[in-house]
Chains A and B, each alone.
Chain A
Amino acid sequence: MDPILTINILNVVYEVSTLAVVVLGLAVVFGLLGVMNLAHGEFVMIGAYCAFFIQAQNLPFLAAIPLALLVCGFLGLVVERLLVRPLYARPFDTLLATWGLSMLLREAVEAVYGRGFRSVATPLTGSVDVLGADYPSYRLLLTVVSIALVAGLVWWFVRSATGRRIRAVVNNRELAGSVGIPVTALARNTFVFGCCLAALAGVMLAPLLPVNPTLGLDFILKSFFVLVVGGLGSLVGLISGAGVIGGVESVVSAFLDRTYGYTTVLIIAILFLWLRPNGLFPRT
């Protein structure tokens, strides 16, 4: 195969699989709590800053993972209790409150680290030969880890008792509560879990991103568009949505430039909202 084609294909797979990890966290929270967490992208951003912080302390890169999980897990816990839980009955206000939270986190990070771009060194340098093409090892590793993560989570969601409980609550919250599923605790844990997933993605992606306070904004928009295109509430939808959005953006960006990639994604999202508002795989 043509090496350039191989690299482009790998890039698309990379884009789609990492995007899927971010969206998964957003989608699970939305599915279970009915809360569109507009600060989800900021958790990715904080994860990335954790990686930066760890490197600045000359600690091994992997130490960033527990730190990010701890920071974002704790933040998620506080946010769930103070913002999300009191607003269950007011979904529109939840949107606003999490939008406010996203500003708060962004400004807080900016107050500490400034607006400038930070770079995080890649923990795994060098490249691997894939079908005759040189591909950066870290990207490849990230793609594999992302796919494994999404697949593992899906498997767990379908097979485990907790996964079954979550699906029960998504289906019918009242009934699930009345048969003894601890709905409130489950909702809290799910929210925290979603935040942790975002943080994890942030750590992993940090070496490949220009780390800056507005980084989360791109992610929340892209993730949202994935849900719009794929449809809310099914995994097939999520993955196909990530495929369309991530795929189109990386292909167009590769051939033209980032602005065009961005524009194309936006146009696709608007077309979907307009013509197929429930996405490719609507929730039934």
Chain B
Amino acid sequence: MASFLGHSAALVAALALLPQLVGEFWAYTLALYFLYAIASLGIGLCWGQAGFLPLGQAMFFGLAAYLSGLSLIHFKDSWLLLLLLPAAALAPGLLAYGIGLLVFRGRTLSGPFFAMITLALTLLAFQIANSWNDVTGGFNGLKNIPGLPGLSDFTDLYYVSAVALGVCLIGIAWLRRAPAGVLWRAVSQNEQRVRFCGFAVQNVKAAVFGLSGVLAGIGGALYAPQQNLVTPQLCGFLLSADLVIWAAVGGRATLYGPAVGAVLIGILTADLRDEISYWEVILAAIFIVVVLYFRQGLMGFVEPPVERLWRRRAKRTLDGPARPAASGDTGFALDGVRVRMGSVRILEGLDLAIDRHGIYCLIGPNGAGKTSCFNAMTGELPVRSGQIRIFGHARTGTAADLLSRIGVGRKFQAPSLFPDLTVAENFNIGLWGGRARLRDLVRMRSHGWSSAILREAQSRFPFLAEEDRRAGDLSHGQRQILELVMVLIAEPRLLLLDEPSAGLSQTETQEVIEAIRWVGGRLNACTVIVEHDMTFVRELADRIFVLHQGRLLASGTVAEIQADERVRAVYVGASA
């Protein structure tokens, strides 16, 4: 906390002293680029933190500028401005949030789709601003917009912009360090894991996009009274592209990068555009070079992308809130479930029901439908017909994040975690999922959550206590165990484990077996394991289910299955 306050104080002092150093003309120019910098910070959040790229940020800037300009023209000197100007800044945020919900709902991989939609929207915004003469003034825009009441000279304008930029920077610095920031970076690395930890990824991304809309909105709302003129170009793709370049060159993943990029390149452009006719071309070339070779941008050389100091201080001192109490029945039931991909029949009327606590193994030759059975249960594969019930409720096609929140945990075959986050942050995503409320996500103390299961796991697997290590630096076996523990600390009542011992050494396998037995008993859970390793199965399984060609072939105790002729026939050569 102390470092945070010190940091903020230094920032405020620097911004306050600047106009004394550079003089009035530059203070005026800086004031304009500070507003662009605020919008650019929003791109830093979306692209540098949450990992999706908005190409149409100017539409929010422009929208706020028009709203603020119209308010100032029609309600000059009225107290209503106290409501209207903040509303002008917030409206684009709401719009962005709505667009985000709409677009992110459709697909989990944002990739080019999101970027292209935002680009198209900003072109549309330009068209509307350009042709809706009655309201926007058409091509000539809104002219003679009055300034903010009570402010007169350029230095005043500078201070308004500087305060706005300072406040936004401090707010963003807080969010980046808070659990929310960790969650955003987790989303950019592995959306699937975030969903299976119980977070609705589309809402997280829409919220980040909404926030970026507010940042652009703040810039735009202040732009109108500062420049006294709002034209359609303010919604156009050129400003949108500039904002992206500034964020990239400044350093998209850093706190100050987008703002530094906006101010530095903005000032250079203002100065050089007329002198060097190819300036814009040079700028585009610089952008390409940054994308190819210097992804961290200018500030990446100065500033660590994520504040590691803060993290080291977070000690796990208090237990997080308890998971919501269990309700409903135990276990699950698949009833005649069919899944097809194209012409391939994956599940052919699978019936499988477990209604008791215990450890169950799902075995079967390759292609029998074991992993697909899990995929169908967690909504990853579309179910053609049949029904899935979990804890006694119909859950066919239910989204993974909801399943996680009601107590379904899943570990994937290949370790699925957040390689660029620390071990501590990986645990925290697991701990926050299903426990953290919105306000917990902006509180620093949520970093210090712990749980009995986590402590126990750390004493079983000592490497898990080295929480400052990057998860991606762990060995394959260690990553398997880390993912398993991430799933366990969410305290699921139904555990789906896909080959938890794959790639583990003999000793590690033994430790995992013990951990599964311990946790299964302790959580009173129903544990289902897909496994090839028969030693593993023999040691753990209360009951075995054999799948073959998308159907249930047999079920029974280890001894019964070993004696079963049909199972032998399927496994000829393997166990004969």
| A→B interface (CB under 8 Å) | 36, 38, 83, 86-87, 91-93, 95-97, 99-101, 103-104, 107-108, 110-111, 217, 221, 224-225, 228, 259, 262-263, 266, 269-270, 273-275, 277, 284
Contact between B103 and A86 (Cβ–Cβ < 8 Å)? no
Return the chain A residue nearest B290 by Cβ.
A100
Given A111-B278, A273-B103, A277-B106: A259 and B284 within 8 A (CB)?
A: no
A266, B103: Cβ atoms closer than 8 Å:
no
CA–CA, A111 and B113, complex, Å: 30
Q: Quick one: given A83-B292, A103-B287, A259-B127, are A273 and B107 in contact (CB under 8 Å)?
A: yes
A103, A221, A263: which contacts B284 (Cβ < 8 A)?
A: A103
Interface residues of B (CB under 8 A from A): 53, 55, 102-103, 105-107, 111-113, 115-117, 119-121, 123-124, 127-128, 131, 237, 241, 244-245, 248, 277-278, 280-281, 283-285, 287-288, 291-292, 295, 341-342
| Alpha-carbon separation in the docked complex, A259 to B107 (Å) | 28
Number of A-B contacts (CB under 8 A): 98
- Contact (A96, B53) CB under 8 Å given A217-B123, A221-B123: yes
15 contacting pairs across A/B (C-beta < 8 A) = A97-B288, A97-B291, A97-B292, A103-B287, A104-B281, A107-B283, A217-B237, A225-B116, A225-B120, A259-B128, A266-B120, A270-B103, A273-B103, A274-B103, A274-B105
Q: Write out the residue numbers on chain B whose beta carbons fall within 8 Å of the beta carbon of A269.
A: 117, 120
Q: Chain B residues near A225 (CB, 8 Å)? A: 116, 120
- Which B residues are CB-close (under 8 A) to A111? 277-278, 280-281
Bound together, the chains give a CA A86 to CA B102 distance in angstroms of: 34
A104 touches B103 (CB 8 A): no
Q: Are A107 and B53 in contact (CB under 8 A)?
A: no
What's the nearest-Cβ distance from chain A to residue B100, in Å? 12
* Complex CA–CA separation, A108 to B284 (angstroms): 10
B123 A104 Cβ-Cβ under 8 A? no
- Pick from A83, A100, A259, A275: contact of B131, CB under 8 Å: A259
A134 to B123, CA, bound (A): 34
Q: How far is the CA of A101 from the CA of B285 in the complex (A)?
A: 8
Decide if A266 touches B241 in the complex (CB within 8 Å): no
For A108, list chain B residues within 8 Å (CB).
Answer: 278, 281
Secondary structure at the A interface, as helix, strand, loop or mixed, is: helix
The 9 residue pairs across chains A and B that have the minimum distance between CB atoms: A104-B284, A107-B280, A100-B288, A103-B284, A284-B342, A274-B106, A100-B287, A277-B107, A107-B281
CB distance from B44 to the nearest CB of A (A): 15
Query: In the complex, are the beta carbons of A104 and B288 less than 8 A apart?
Result: yes
Q: How far is A262 from B284 in the complex, measured between Cα atoms in Å?
A: 28
The distance from the CB of A217 to the nearest CB of chain B, in whole angstroms, is 7
Q: A224-B116, A277-B113 are in contact. List 4 more A-B contacts (CB 8 A).
A: A101-B284, A221-B123, A259-B127, A263-B124
Residues of B within 8 A of A110 (CB): 280
Q: Do residues A83 and B288 form an inter-chain contact, with CB atoms below 8 A?
A: yes
When the two chains form the complex, which single residue of A93, A101, A274 contacts B102, counting CB atoms closer than 8 Å? Answer: A274
Residues of chain B within 8 A of A92, CB atoms compared: 53, 111
A273 contacts which of B113, B124, B245, B281 (Cβ < 8 Å)? B113
Are A100 and B291 in contact, with the CB atoms below 8 A? yes
Closest residue to A79 on the B side, CB-wise?
B288
Nearest chain-B residue to A94 (Cβ)? B291
Minimal beta-carbon separation of A236 from chain B (angstroms) = 16
Q: How far is the CA of A284 from the CA of B341 in the complex (A)?
A: 8
In the docked arrangement, what's the CA distance between A1 and B232, Å? 43
Enumerate chain B residues within 8 angstroms of A96, measured Cβ to Cβ: 53, 248, 291
User: In whole angstroms, what is the CA distance A93 to B295 when docked?
Assistant: 9
